Amino acid sequence: MNSRASIDNASAMSLAVNKTDAGVIKKSLSKTAGKWKDFLLSRFLPPLIVMTILVAIWEITCSGPEASLPSASAMVEQSWELIVHPFYDNGGNDVGMAWQILASLERVAYGYLLAVIAGVSLGVLVGQSTWAMRGLDPVFQVLRTVPPLAWLPLSLAGFQDSHPSAIFVIFITAIWPIIINTSVGVRNIPEDYRNVARVIRLNGFEYFRQVMLPSAAPYIFSGLRIGVGLSWLAIVAAEMLIGGVGIGFFIWDAWNSSLISDIILALIYVGIVGFILDRMVAFIGNRVTRGTSAS
């Protein structure tokens, strides 16, 4: 984005310098503005058009008298109260969409943070030690194929409480890609970087902080990004089973009350929040790994 802006500025300036005529300068400026307009149009117009078409198809196909799902307009009408009051709180489960989402996000935050800490540590261990890799890798490869929800009954039995169980399910879902990517990143640290560290005699912690983490960061962040996506996938299903406040149980509750339009609204919320989570981790990753991948 920055480079694009500076190129635009440069071209505007060169035009302004070459041709002293005021009218030409004005023209060149309006040209630059026109370019921005083109840019906005090219970026925002296509998704807008596609979305309009999709909503129109939805409206048309669900408008018939025997349609089993509400049409777009019916959905907005039926869920209007929820749409305009995201923060209401009547106590118990009867709270606004924002609170439902935040409750789910809180569970994801706990589970995901634990997975990040444990996943990066185990990944470093497996990446550093061939022995640990040979011992742990088969275990990881088997456990990571277990579907997240299959862990739920076991964790309910273990924790005897729904709240930590949901967090555990998020943890166990997110940890595998983090471990695997971190270990690959650590194993791929170039021999030269290790040699530099050996020559200047960095100790274990200095090596970890100044060489290993930055060098493996691109791998670690791709693991973190997969992990956050999987946790958000798992939370909805887990909450459907454990109940309480949360977007997952909200959907289940709406289904039981036959409030189909509320379910659609919840899906839109879930999708947008998942998208934002993914982009947030990607953004942090881009900031942290700036300059790391190039040699």
Partner 1 sequence: MMASSYLQIEQVAMDFTRGDLTSHVLQNVNLKVEQGEYISIIGHSGCGKSTVLNIVAGLLRATSGVVILDGKEVNDPGPDRSLVFQNHSLLPWLTVYENVAIAVNKIFKHSKSAAERHQWILKNLEMVNMSHALHKRPAEISGGMKQRVGIARALAMEPKVLLLDEPFGALDALTRAHLQDEVMRIQSELKNTVLMITHDVDEAVLLSDRIVMMTNGPSATIGEILDIDLPRPRNRITLTDDPTYNHYRHQVLSFLYEKQRKVDVVAIA
Which residue ranges make up the site for partner 1 (CB under 8 A)? 190, 192-193, 195-196, 198-202, 206, 210-211, 214-215, 217, 289-295
Of 121, 100, 135, nearest in space to 178 by CA? 121
CB of residue 165 to partner 1, shortest distance in Å: 40
Closest Cα partner for 233 from 143, 126, 112? 112
CB of 207 to partner 1, least distance (A): 11
Cβ proximity to partner 1, 90 vs 203, nearer residue = 203
Distance CA 90, CA 92 (A): 7
Measured from the CB atom, the residue of 17 and 294 that comes closer to partner 1 is 294
CA distance 123 to 180: 6
Q: Which of 75, 98, 76 is nearest to 88 (CA)?
A: 98
Closest approach, Cβ 190 to partner 1, in A, equals 7
- What token pair was written down for 169? 């399910």
Q: Which is nearer to partner 1, 28 or 289 (CB)?
A: 289
**114 conformational bin, left if phi > 0, alpha if psi -120 to 50, beta if neither:** alpha
CA distance 9 to 1: 12
Nearest-Å Rg of the Cα atoms of the chain is: 26
List the one residue out of 220, 225, 223 whose CA is nearest residue 281: 225
CB-wise, 11 or 292, nearer to partner 1? 292
Between 69 and 200, whose beta carbon lies closer to partner 1?
Answer: 200
Reduce the DSSP state of residue 146 to 3 states and report it: coil
Closest approach, Cβ 1 to partner 1, in A, equals 19
- 64 or 287: whose CB is closer to partner 1? 287
In the complex, the smallest distance separating the C-beta of residue 126 from partner 1, rounded to whole angstroms, is 23
Separation of first and last alpha carbons in the chain: 23
- Quote the least distance from Cβ 196 to partner 1, whole Å: 6
Task: Return the number of the residue (5 or 200) whose C-beta is nearest partner 1.
Answer: 200
Number of Cβ within a 10 Å radius of residue 240: 18
What's the closest the beta carbon of residue 291 comes to partner 1, in angstroms? 5
